[in-house]
Amino acid sequence: MKAVKILSVLIIILSLQGCWGSRETDEMAYVLAMGLDKGPDGNITVTFQIANPKVIAGPPGGGGGGAGREKPLITVSTIAPLPIAAFNIMNVERSRQISLLHTNAFIISEDLAREGLAPYLNPLNRFRETRGTAFVYISRGKASDFMEKNRPELEATPAKQYELISRSFRLHALTSVVQFHKFYAGTKSRDRQPVAPLVDINNKGLERGASTPGALGDYLAGDMPSNKGESQFLGTAVFRMDKMVGTLTGNETRYLNMLTGEMHFSFLVLPHHLKENSVVGVSLLQARKPVIKVSTEGERPIINIELFVEPALVGTPSGTSYENNVHMGVIEKEISRALSEGCRQVVARSQEEFRSDIFGFGRYARKNFLTVQQWRGYDWLGKYPGAEVEIKVNVRIRRTGLMLKTAPNV
Amino acid sequence: MKNLFKQVKQILTYQGTPFREGFILEENAFDNREAAASGKESQSQGKDGKEKSAEPGRRRARPLRKARSEGSRETGDADTGKVSTILDRNRETIEKLYGLPVNKDIIVRDFTIGTDPPVKSFLVYIDGMISRTDLNFLLQNLMLEAGEISRHIASAPSILHRLLPGSQARMLDSFEKIVEFVNYGDTALFIQGSPQALVIETKGWEHRPVERPNSEQTIYGPQEAFIENLRANTALVRKIIRSEKLYTEMLSVGKRYYSDVAVMYMSDLANPELVKEVKRRISSINVDYVTDTGMLEQFIEDSPYNLNPQTHYTERPDRVAAFLAEGKVAILLSGSPFALVVPTTMYAQLHTGEETYLRWQYGTFLRYIRTISFYLALLLPGLYLAAVLYHQEMLPTDLLLAIAGNRERVPFPTVVEILLMEFSFELVREAGLRIPGIIGSTIGIVGALLLGQAAVQANLASPVVIILVAVTGLASFSIPSYSLAFAVRTYRFFYIIMGSILGFYGITIVLFIQIIFTTSLKSFGVPYLSPTGPRTYAGGDVVSRLPIFMQRRRPDYINPQDNTRAPGNPRGWVRDKGEGGGDGKQQ
């Protein structure tokens, strides 16, 4: 009898739990990527890329002919005042409950980003299903176009593509990576303004756009010479609060990543210091995180940056034997000069053109204040454009690749 | 006309089955026996039996045997139950006790002992239970050699001392005792004029030889298993522990017919309180018969309603020896090829002897694999259900899409799918065990392969679920204790149900309940999860297995009389300083 009592209490308690949200996978439609475009009358055009698992998983157990003709992704757009509303209203078209649980990327068009993203980021951040770890991309063209044309050939789903792209950033440092929660926090931050990677589809083919000769990757997404129709993840969109204020090319993004300490590996091509029309290729590693000191005592903040870069020789087509001590010293100085010049230019752009602290110097400045109120009163964002910036780049070549010396060309 | 009416009536009305067999198994022929107490009951019974049935032999077996044996005891008591000096009277008593000549198993062999003068005597034994060569040798001695040895012996003591070549022989004067021995394969010798009978050990029934273990196979280590012969089993253990401190105490269980129980322990290790408790529980069993240690286990375990097995059931003498050397107590039962070791813990049941025989790195590797498979067997289907039904965001996108894509054409909910496949797997497992030997193994494999493949092709289950169920099944096979594997399999269904109803929250609930149940469980006074719950000295042989020379103390939870396994440095040839860590420095 006692057991019956306990059991009945247990059953009642268990059946009162609010955990009846069981959903079978075949009742759900998973949105893999969400695109935001400017729409008519202050609305936005929201594009969803919905996975068709039947096709992605392949025909099970020999059954199902003709599955090959079905598309693995369904791309649909609608117009709504808010992204969550759009997602909800899409249920009238689909038999399945549309879910944002697996939305891995938010692609926002440049037009919309330049007008300010606050009205759209807030509901997305509030919504329970949104993944904080989703990636944010800024599309130079229309987001819906990009999603329609972006067809990763090596991956089964774009979800995996976005994830891998975010990792391949470590290989070149020519773009940046930002996750939704960090991006959102950045738009509210007083220390570090957000950046987001630029994406676009190449529609120029192998034609060479405007770019500095010699610098590697000095393009914006979509401009790099390549096959037509390839999607490119290159360059950075710079924000001031929630508004996009400009772009950095891939080359500039390298210096941005160097200054924030996020550069893992990158290639750099320098003009030869003696021979005309000859270049030297080096790969860059950051030996240590940059040491940054910010002084807020004077009228203008003074920012001291010390970078530690360890290049390795990659290509020396000139035949100069950089392996010997004399030449190595020369090229170390040369690299140091080029890097500090590059960094200085990017910092100058951020101060003068963007007026936005995308490097996070504010986090170092913040240390000088005891209370939040004092820090807010200092108005870092207002003072940053006038800051004095000193950059010192320590360069030490430790590796010369697999060659210990170069015999002169005869 | 009247005839026709009768026929119609016969067709239309209920007639009842005609009484053809002439035999009815009456319900209450013996039910009032106990009420009738003593005295005339046997007479009235005989009457009832005759009145109610034509064939007395087909009565209900149990009450009949009971009635007969009680009756025979009474007659024995009536004749004081002692051996008489008159041979014929003894013979009559034996005939009465065994129900001769109806009972054909019993052989009474009359003969004359070849002394001078010759002495009439007879032997009583049970056909098939004795060794023929022993008996022939015995008869040869008594009939032929007797004359040469002595001229004036005719009494039991002198024959015992001079004539019997058998290794074990005893002089008894109570029929109750004599019958007990004869029932167990001994031969009783009754001699004219002697008030005692001689009971000579001639046991020699057919039994299995010692074979390889069937349910606890290992690659390394001894390859012997217990058999159905109790004495052979105790010898198998004693062969490993060659010590005079190994005690074997004999008890008996079963009121109708008893079985011998051997309680084995190391007298200088096992906690005397533990030995006392084991003997107390065994001797208090009041039931008609116990034929296997599996039955005995159920009578002596602490909590019959808990799923976890609370005694260690093993068929390996080397394991029993290892446990005895820790200070545990082993219980062997005649006729059972398994031994029970108490107390046990869950960890002991997840071990096999092999980890100790292997080098410690390999042993630890095995243990870790087994630990993982324990959790897989318990939780995997439940976790899958919870993740797929409630927490889809937890799965990587590609994995979720693969699962979802494979499920698209499956018409059942995921729970039904899992339960269906789990049931099929259990079916293959059970059927594979029951199907006669030769086709059994093929059916098992073919059944599993075919079922899985066909279920996927017919869109009855998704391939992911098949893999999941197969992995779970394999994992549950890797749990060495058959009983514990049963417990895990049963618990698994709770996890499946709760995982599908309440997601991870439900799984947490079941985990919580299971942990509480298991932690509060005790096996012969020892917490089931020791040495981790409660935490005591673990000895480096619980989840991982440290090198064997570091295991210098016995498990603390058994409270043995001597805690130290190796007092100094176990590897005498190595200087103690560099090794052994803390233990070494203390000494």
State the pLDDT at residue B33: 58
Q: How far is A124 from chain B (nearest CA, A)?
A: 16
The set of residues, in sequence order, having a beta carbon less than 8 Å from that of B546 and lying 6+ positions away, is B360, B540
- Which residues of chain A are modeled with pLDDT < 70? 17-19, 59-69, 207-215, 408-410
| B380 and B486 assigned to the same domain | yes
Closest by Cα among A197, A154, A195 to A174: A197
State the pLDDT at residue B30: 65
Q: Residue A181 domain-assigned? A: yes
| A208 and A158 assigned to the same domain | yes
User: Quick check: B397 and A64 CB within 8 A?
Assistant: no
Q: How many Å is the maximal CA-CA distance in chain A? A: 102
The CB density around residue A302, as the number of other CB atoms within 10 Å, is: 14
Write the single-letter amino acid at A197: P
pLDDT band at B367 (very low <50, low <70, confident <90, very high): very high
Whether residue A18 lies within 8 A of chain B, CB to CB, comes out as no
**pLDDT by residue (tens digit) across B22-59?**
787 777 656 665 555 544 444 444 444 444 444 444 44
d(CA A331, CA A334): 5
| B366 and B294 assigned to the same domain | no
d(CA A206, CA A190): 42
Task: Give the structural domain span for B499.
Answer: 357-527
DSSP conformational letter for A289: P
Facing residue for B400 by CB, picked from A24, A25, A62: A25
The CB density around residue A200, as the number of other CB atoms within 10 Å, is: 27
Instruction: Please return the burial class of B19, using the count of CB atoms within 10 Å of its CB with bins 0-12, 13-18 and 19+.
Output: exposed
**B542-553: average pLDDT:** 87
B503 interaction partners in chain A (CB closer than 8 Å): 19, 22
pLDDT band at B364 (very low <50, low <70, confident <90, very high): very high
| A225 and A308 assigned to the same domain | no
User: Quick check: A53 and B401 CB within 8 A?
Assistant: yes
User: Quick check: A21 and B459 CB within 8 A?
Assistant: no
State the pLDDT at residue A169: 87
Q: Residue B469 domain-assigned? A: yes
Choose one of A253, A284, A304: the last residue of a domain.
A253
**B316-332: average pLDDT:** 94
State the pLDDT at residue B371: 94
Q: Is the pLDDT of residue B109 over 70?
A: yes
Facing residue for B408 by CB, picked from A21, A54, A104: A54
Q: Residue A410 domain-assigned? A: no
User: Quick check: A23 and B392 CB within 8 A?
Assistant: yes
What are B172's two structure tokens? Answer: 């008894």
Under 8 Å CB pairs connecting chains A and B tally to 101
**B428-445: average pLDDT:** 77
Identify the bridge partners of residue A44 per DSSP, sorted by sequence position: A38, A80
| A290 and A217 assigned to the same domain | no
| A185 and A101 assigned to the same domain | yes
Q: How far is A72 from chain B (nearest CA, A)?
A: 11
**pLDDT by residue (tens digit) across B398-408?**
899 989 988 88
| A243 and A271 assigned to the same domain | no
**pLDDT by residue (tens digit) across B295-322?**
999 999 999 999 999 999 999 999 999 9
**B264-289: average pLDDT:** 94
State the pLDDT at residue B61: 41
State the pLDDT at residue B581: 47
**pLDDT by residue (tens digit) across B453-486?**
888 888 888 999 999 999 999 999 999 999 999 9
Interface test with A, best of B390, B395, B398 (most A CBs within 10 A): B398
| B504 and B473 assigned to the same domain | yes
State the pLDDT at residue B50: 43
User: Quick check: A26 and B407 CB within 8 A?
Assistant: yes
Whether residue A6 lies within 8 A of chain B, CB to CB, comes out as no
Asked if residues B293 and B333 have their Cβ atoms less than 8 Å apart, the reply is yes
| B508 and B384 assigned to the same domain | yes
Q: How far is B52 from chain A (nearest CA, A)?
A: 45
Q: Is the pLDDT of residue B146 over 80?
A: no
Q: Residue A249 domain-assigned? A: yes
B414 interaction partners in chain A (CB closer than 8 Å): 24-25
Query: How many residues are listed for chain B in this entry?
Result: 587
Interface test with B, best of A22, A49, A97, A100 (most B CBs within 10 A): A22
